[in-house]
Chain A
Amino acid sequence: MKHIRKLIPFVKPYWGRSLLSLALLTAVVLMDLAIPRLIQRIIDQGIRQNDQSVVIQTALVMLGISVFSTLFAVGNNYFSVQVGESVARDLREALFLKIQSFSHGDLDRFPTGKLMVRLSSDSAALQRLLQVTLRIGTRAPLLMIGSLILMVNTSPQLALTLIPLLLVTSGLIVLFSVRMAPLFRIVQQKLDRLNTVLQENIAGARLVKAFVRADYESQRFEEANEDFTRNTVGVMRFMSSMQPVLTIFVNIGVVTVIWAGGLQAIQGDLTLGQIVAFTNYLMTTMGPLIMMTMLSHVWANGMASAQRVNEVLDVQPEVQEAPNARTLPVEVQGQVKFEDVSFHYDSSHDGAVLEGIHLRAEPGETVAILGATGAGKSTLVNLVARFYDVAGGQVTIDGIDIRSLQQEALLSHIGVVPQETVLFSGSVRDNIRYGSPQASDEQVIAAAIAAQADEFIQKLPQGYDTHVEQRGVNLSGGQKQRIAIARALLPRPKILILDDSTSSVDVETETKIQDALEEWMQGCTSFVVAQRISTVLKADKIIVLDKGCIAAQGSHAELIRSSRIYQEIYESQLGDGVPGLVEQGVIDASA
């Protein structure tokens, strides 16, 4: 409930329409309640009294009422739909805005899938909750209370006889509602399991075939399938038994009314029309009760969704802009300094990821970062762009602590090629131009040439206008990486970050990219995270990270002599091949 209450402000802008919708609904209910009374009139005063004019008159009144009631019902539907859709739209936008303000740390905690669920199914569940509440949710109790009152009004004695029945039915309904949610949860779990087997089988098709495991897989699937089926049958039976079981009680009520009411009518205490009206009211009391069981499900879902939505809306982004943040001077030099920097991810990992990092990149220098997976390489370069905030120490650009800068200003001087290549749907040209939308076609091509992308782009069906599908599925990993490099190069940033961004590019192309970069990025500071040692050989400075600390730094020539860990990496990758090469004079050993 608490979570739903927190979301009430989203309904506020539409309170007028919500109220209107509720008012229309109330009118509909009142009119619905009038119909049995009018039928009673036709029977008692028309047919029984042989009065044709009453029959016709009342029929016309009923006709008029039902026309209005329909109009009102349509109005109620329209406004409730509008409110529901509006709130869902606003909710989605609020969520999206919040997600946009997320820093990398927040995004790490909420994977895309989770956020998608919140934006789509959760907001849809809340929309359904609102819409249903504005229609059936209010209609059912109103109808129920109304017809209860009218039942008592028609015949208090008859109404009293029905009380035990009403109590039993209510009890049953509560029972159904309470048991429904956990049943659905179990079925959902079984379904997830079934989907997992299917998913793994499809994704691992090559392996299943290689190990000739079709039968084994079929058996695995069959188990999950049987489990799911058994549970679904249970739930379906439970669900489908609800209606007949509740109707039995309604029908017992009807028979009771006919019998007990009939006895009264015979004594002359009740008219025929009243009995008919009474049974009608009884139906209208019970009907909504059944709807309520369904409603409880919508509410349970809605509350769970509200909680998940609030989880996102309540996030305080980890990286916050300082209140008096300033811009960088026009002429940025690009000197980057790490002063005793430490860092840890607060939730996912305990212990420091980086510790005591001192590092100085002079303008125009290339700093390569080497180390095992998990050593903290990506984290280190991400700190430069303030994608994460340092836990201790400071990172400065031209001597200014980056935390005192406007994020916008900082990022406008930094070009990033992230580890995981993300392209957007749109043309290749649009993708390269992503960071500087005003760039001319010539500039785009120049950047592509530097990233060694021009050649393959020219060969694509429509060249630079080729459409990149969602997540770039129509391009190879290496091609995507090169487009991402071109994208980062285009604005000619003062600081360039290449986070293992040539891993899918073959060594020859990688070398070409490096040569081109040297020219393109003249006077710009670059950070290169690399796995292959061949990538880093030429850097001005090589940082070897080991378990979050700088194990060694210096040029290749220095490190190969002094650093054990560097030698080890070097051996493992280029190792014994090299001396042979040197002897053959392939490589210039004199340098």
Chain B
Amino acid sequence: MQAHKMPEPSHSHFGGDIRTRLQFRGPMRPDKIEIARDPRRALARLLPYLKPFKWTLGLVLVFVLAYTLLGLVGPYLMGVAIDRFIAGKDPAGLARIALQMLVIYALYNLFQLAANWVMAGVSQRALKALRRDLFRHLQTLSLSFFDSHPAGDLMSRLSNDIGAINQDVSQNVISIIASVLTLGGILVAMFVLNAWLALATLLVVPIMLWFTRFVASYTRKGFQELQKHLGAFNGVMEESISGQKVIKAFRRNESTLEAFRRHNQAVYRAGVYAHTYALLLMPLTNVLANFFVIVLSGLGGWLALRSLVTVGTIATFINYGQYFIQPLRQLANMYNAIQAALAGAERVFEIIDAPPETPDAPEPLGLEPVRGQVRFENVRFAYIPDIPVIKNMTLEAQAGQTIALVGPTGAGKTTIINLLNRFYEIQGGCITIDGVDIRMLRKEDLRRKLGLVLQDTFLFSGTVMENIRYGRLDATDEECMQAAQMADADHYIRQLPQGYDTPLSERAGNLSQGQRQLLAIARAILADPAILILDEATSSVDTRTEARIQGALLRLMEGRTSFVIAHRLSTIKDADRVIVIDNGEIVEQGSHQELLERRGFFHHLYMSQFKGQAI
């Protein structure tokens, strides 16, 4: 009698597939088989996320307990029905017990439904909290963290790892509880009914465990291997597809195809190995289950013939046996998922544990209003210890001045900007604004006073208006449009399909480089900073747009202290002071004209573009 043997293993297998699909539509990802370094610690840190739901979880526990017990009663009643009423020819009793069974089963399914229903909410809410914490923490991390972790890397880590945890928390927690409870309940029930048959049943446990571990070890090895090959294969694919134009130009199709084939074949082999082993568990546990039924009917029959046991008890035992094997099988299936989840959790907590930016001074000073006098005094800085990027630099900008920073790539121009914004902390000397050490200010206040227009204009998905408003969140539509007008962006925005409400696609692919720059300038105008920091774009746009950008920048710089990493001649010419930097040191400073006349480094740099040219 194999009643109630729902196809759960295959169900959970599929469920896994579907839930994985829920996570992330990225490159091919096999079922992850990973092991957490310190599973207990990872678990301990995940649990607090469930704490707000402790009462709800208690309720779930009650439901699970209830349906586990009801699940045990069902087969028992069936045995009774067969033994006492059908064999005993009692139609009225049969009707009664059938009704009882119906109620029991209905309650069983209802409680199961309720448990699943509540748990889905709890697990997703807990995960949401984890995502929120992660994101909040991400906001506090210093820029060096982002500079040292490539965005793509970070992204895939975040989405995959949370996905792995998701799979675990939601479905498995409940299954584990149910499995363990069922196992315990059945054991007790079986020993109460018949100790000999119960002992025979227990024989299965070690065999089952051994099988599972045996198969699991091969499966894990297989998937690890597959993952390794897939990683390499994905790399090869990505490289050859993104480089296809170059491959074609250099006529390397053949060798590329060869490499592709090699990796493709390796993935095939690893895939066959891993999946064959993974699928081995099902038939093997099936045969065990059958074996178990056979032993029970054999031994039970033998005992029944000696009147040591009734037919109904044997039927109930066979039925219980299925209930007994099922959780064992599930626990085996879940083992890998749980390991992967904990490994994912570990990596998520690694990010949450990354140290945040240097905290603000305990009693920060205010800074109102800002005149905009900026001074660097003997500033020293290195990204990597012992490789100084800024060496003992002293420079001063009077309020309202425009300072052009000039120098070869890698000289340290961008670093100066990073230091002024406190994206990175100086390691010696000090930086003051209006005579106040910037370390004494709150970072927020400091950054609000500084306007930043970067070379790589970053826009967010959202409308044009939202992107301008990013500069000052409480600005009205009119103020945003005014800013756009000042940035000379208004006329082209109005030509867009939906004007200011035009949504910008990801990374603003529907705007030209020049248009994006104008938008970024509008954003900075709206923010109305006291001090302006500009990283002029090198990639040139057409001459007319460039003139526009130039004009917008000039309007923006008016009346503000401005630091400009200068590439355009006009900026250098119009600057109050040009600071020439090389190797982290100021090598020259003065006006454009002075520096040219000095015929030093700047002169050399400046002339190199005309060198040898006949004009």
Contact = CB atoms under 8 A, between A and B. Distances in A.
30 contacts: A46-B301, A47-B314, A55-B301, A59-B301, A66-B290, A82-B272, A93-B260, A100-B257, A121-B25, A195-B159, A202-B154, A222-B132, A240-B116, A240-B119, A243-B11, A243-B116, A247-B112, A254-B4, A266-B91, A279-B3, A287-B5, A287-B7, A294-B17, A418-B249, A435-B252, A508-B608, A515-B612, A537-B614, A569-B543, A588-B614
B117 A237 contact: yes
B611 interface: yes
Given A39-B1, A204-B458, A471 B117 contact: no
Given A266-B86, A507-B608, A586-B607, A199 B155 contact: yes
B135 A198 contact: yes
Given A77-B276, A112-B241, A240-B171, 20 more contacts: A35-B2, A59-B297, A66-B290, A89-B265, A96-B240, A103-B248, A116-B27, A191-B22, A195-B155, A208-B139, A218-B132, A225-B135, A226-B128, A247-B6, A248-B105, A251-B109, A259-B94, A259-B95, A262-B98, A280-B2
Interface stretch (B335-343, B431-439, B448-456, B551-559): B448-456
Contact of A244 (B109, B293, B461, B512): B109
Contact of B569 (A89, A254, A301, A574): A574
Looking at B87, B138, B171, the one whose CB has the most chain A CB atoms below 10 A away is: B138
B136 A200 contact: no
Contacts of A244: 109-110, 112-113, 116
Looking at B154, B283, B293, the one whose CB has the most chain A CB atoms below 10 A away is: B283
A476 B452 CA distance: 23
Contacts of B540: 373, 531-532, 573
Interface in A524-580: 531-532, 534, 537-538, 556-557, 568-569, 572-578, 580
B143 interface: yes
Contacts of A591: 614-615
B241 A115 contact: yes
A537 B4 CA distance: 85
A131 B14 CA distance: 13
Interface string B578-613: 000000000000000000100000000101111111
B370 interface: no
A78 B276 contact: yes
A209 interface: yes
Contacts of A73: 282-283, 286
B239 interface: yes
Given A191-B22, A372-B543, A229 B1 contact: no
B24 interface: yes
A298 B21 CA distance: 10
A240 B245 contact: no
Interface stretch (B40-48, B195-203, B230-238): B230-238
Interface residue SS majority, chain B: helix
A552 B607 CA distance: 27
Contact of B573 (A36, A196, A507, A577): A577
Nearest to A236: B120
Contact of A262 (B81, B135, B139, B315): B81
Contacts of B22: 184, 187-188, 191, 232, 235
Contact of B301 (A42, A100, A203): A42
B191 interface: no
Interface string B269-288: 00110011001101110110
B192 interface: no
Nearest to A287: B7
Contacts of A84: 275
Contact of A252 (B27, B105, B135): B105
Which 9 pairs of residues, A with B, have the shortest CB-CB distance? A372-B542, A55-B301, A591-B614, A240-B116, A120-B28, A66-B290, A236-B120, A73-B283, A259-B98
A210 B506 contact: no
A582 interface: yes
Contacts of A50: 305
Contacts of B242: 112, 422, 471
B460 interface: yes
Interface size classification for chain B: 35 or more
Given A207-B452, A252-B102, A537-B613, A56 B541 contact: no
B267 A272 contact: no
B272 A373 contact: no
Contacts of A117: 25, 27
Interface in B446-490: 447-448, 450-452, 454, 458, 460-461, 470-471, 473
Contacts of B38: none
Interface in B300-330: 301-302, 304-305, 311, 314-315, 318
Contacts of A58: 297
Interface residues of A, number: 181
B504 to A, nearest CB: 11
Looking at B25, B78, B246, B444, the one whose CB has the most chain A CB atoms below 10 A away is: B246
A378 B443 CA distance: 45
Contacts of A123: 28
B155 A202 contact: yes
Nearest to A515: B612
A212 B120 contact: no
B244 A473 contact: no
B94 A266 contact: yes
B564 interface: no
B494 interface: no
B284 A221 contact: no
B253 A414 contact: no
Given A100-B257, A506-B409, A214 B139 contact: yes
B243 interface: yes
A211 B527 contact: yes
Interface in B404-449: 408-410, 421, 423, 443-444, 447-448
Contacts of A255: 98, 101-102, 105
A3 interface: no
A568 B101 contact: no
B510 interface: no
Contacts of A466: none
A291 B7 contact: yes
Nearest to A77: B279
B91 to A, nearest CB: 6
Interface string A445-471: 000000000000000000000000011
Interface in A98-119: 99-100, 102-104, 107, 112, 115-117, 119
A107 B243 CA distance: 10
A446 B96 CA distance: 97
Contacts of A102: 244
Nearest to A421: B246
Nearest to B542: A372
A572 B56 CA distance: 69
Given A104-B245, A478-B409, A580-B596, A411 B251 contact: yes
A587 interface: yes
Interface string B115-156: 011011101110110011001101110010010001100110
B383 interface: no
A280 B293 CA distance: 14
Contacts of B235: 425, 470
A275 B287 CA distance: 24
A266 to B, nearest CB: 5
A201 B143 CA distance: 12
A51 to B, nearest CB: 9
Contact of B268 (A86, A213, A222, A556): A86
B26 interface: yes
A37 interface: no
B3 A280 contact: yes
A36 to B, nearest CB: 7
Contact of B18 (A36, A294, A580): A294
Interface in B36-64: none
A297 interface: yes
A283 B146 contact: no
